Amino acid sequence: MKKLISIVVPAYNEEAVLAAFHTRMSGVFDQLMDYRCEMIFVNDGSKDGTQAVIDGLANTDERVSTVTLSRNFGKEAAMTAGLDVAQGDAVAIFDADLQDPPELLLQFVAQWEAGYDVVYAKRCQRDGETWLKRATAHIFYRVIKKLSKVAIPPDTGDCRLMSRRVVQDLGRLREQHRFMKGLFAWVGYPSVAVSYRRDPRAAGHTKFNYWTLWNFALEGITSFTIAPLKLATYLGTIFAIGAFALGAWIILKTLIWGDPVRGYPSLIVTVLFLGGIQLFFVGILGEYLGRIFDETKGRPLYLLAQHRPSRIGTACAKQMTCHGESPLRSTT
């Protein structure tokens, strides 16, 4: 049989753009005549007509599979759900908003066939985004690259193609706080970048405001480095040494020259400054402890309300079953 390529498309309130995405990706599929292709739309608890649009596409196109989560679990969990049900020899991830052109899949497949396990899209230009968003994204990728032991490629998103063995290894990583860009890099395997110009959103509205992006950045930093905890240790040591030296100087100065009581304003500023530093690092400790707390509960990453495989995917699952393989992984 021809190799199967699965495309995972997480969607949250994307009814305005799904039909356009399906049309463009179908055109790409028509160019991949030597492969079997399927689209796996993951409805991440949408509140608009996203599910109705996906069902309509599945009714008219045998290459469309639907995955419906019981509620909104977030994009990272939605991508994980799509990867869990995907049966392709290669699995790609594309956002539904068409900012990552579906035509990239042609280059992805060519590089995959050349021997690369991971082919990721690298943004050389980001159209339709504010200068502040571009600047903060640039800073974030450079900061996490410096802090993390895992080499996370800069200026990359979730758009990529992965071989079957990469997808299987990703399925073994079931941590609750999921920074997928870091997990993709952590798995390793031969990788190559494909540069592209990111388009503006085709329709609808972005679901990532600055507050969401800030929390996303915290997720990435706390998931892949303990540098903030080390910083607390280093700063505490520096302040302790400085305080000891200052205390010794004050005692010596008082014994030799005497020292009338003064310096109330500077004392208050110092106390407030040190108190703020302590509370800041208590907050960092709380972030790490909160993540440990979530991991100890052992809850599933997501819950499936419905899964309707594509007819192409169903044939693949039957073939795997005949060979004694399990077509689906656990959601835990």
pLDDT at res. 296: 78
Clarify whether residues 27 and 117 are in a common domain: yes
Q: Determine the Cα–Cα distance for residues 268 and 258; give it in Å rounded to an integer.
A: 22
Co-location of 252 and 309 in the same domain? no
- Claim to verify: residue 250 and residue 315 sit in the same structural domain: no
49 and 83 belong to one structural domain: yes
**Which tokens is 195 given?**
């540069």
For 262-280, what is the mean pLDDT?
A: 69
187 and 97 in a common domain: yes
User: Nearest-CA neighbor of 224 among 169, 283, 296, 291?
Assistant: 291
Quote the pLDDT of residue 323.
41
Is 217 part of any domain?
no
What pLDDT score does 322 carry? 40
Report pLDDT digits (tens) over 40-92. Answer: 999 988 888 888 889 888 888 888 888 889 888 888 888 888 898 888 889 99
Average pLDDT over residues 116-142: 72
Tell me how far apart the alpha carbons of residues 164 and 144 are, in angstroms, rounded to a whole number: 28
Side-chain-side CA neighbours of residue 172 (13 Å): 7
Query: Rounded to whole angstroms, how far apart are CA atoms 65 and 123?
Result: 28
Q: Rounded mean pLDDT of 257-277?
A: 67
Query: Residue 106 carries which DSSP code?
Result: H
User: Does one domain contain both 192 and 77?
Assistant: yes
In one-letter notation, the amino acid at residue 78 is: A
Check whether residue 197 and residue 256 sit in a common domain: no
Arithmetic mean of pLDDT, 265-276:
69
Q: 295 pLDDT band (50/70/90 cuts)?
A: confident
| Alpha-carbon gap, residue 80 to 43, rounded angstroms | 12
Residues 159, 275, single domain; the answer is: no
Residues 287 and 304 in one domain: no
The confidence score (pLDDT) of residue 315 equals 56
- Collect contacts of 102-107 with beta carbons under 8 A, ≥24 apart: 102/21, 102/24, 102/25, 102/27, 102/28, 103/24, 103/28, 104/159, 104/194, 104/196, 105/5, 105/7, 105/25, 105/28, 105/32, 105/161, 106/28, 106/31, 106/32, 107/194
Least confident piece of the model among 101-105, 198-202, 271-275: 198-202
**pLDDT tens figures, 182-239:** 788 888 888 888 888 776 555 555 555 555 666 656 666 666 666 677 777 777 777 7
Examine residue 327 and state whether it is found in any structural domain, yes or no: no
Conformation bin of residue 225: beta by default, left when phi > 0, alpha when psi is -120 to 50: beta
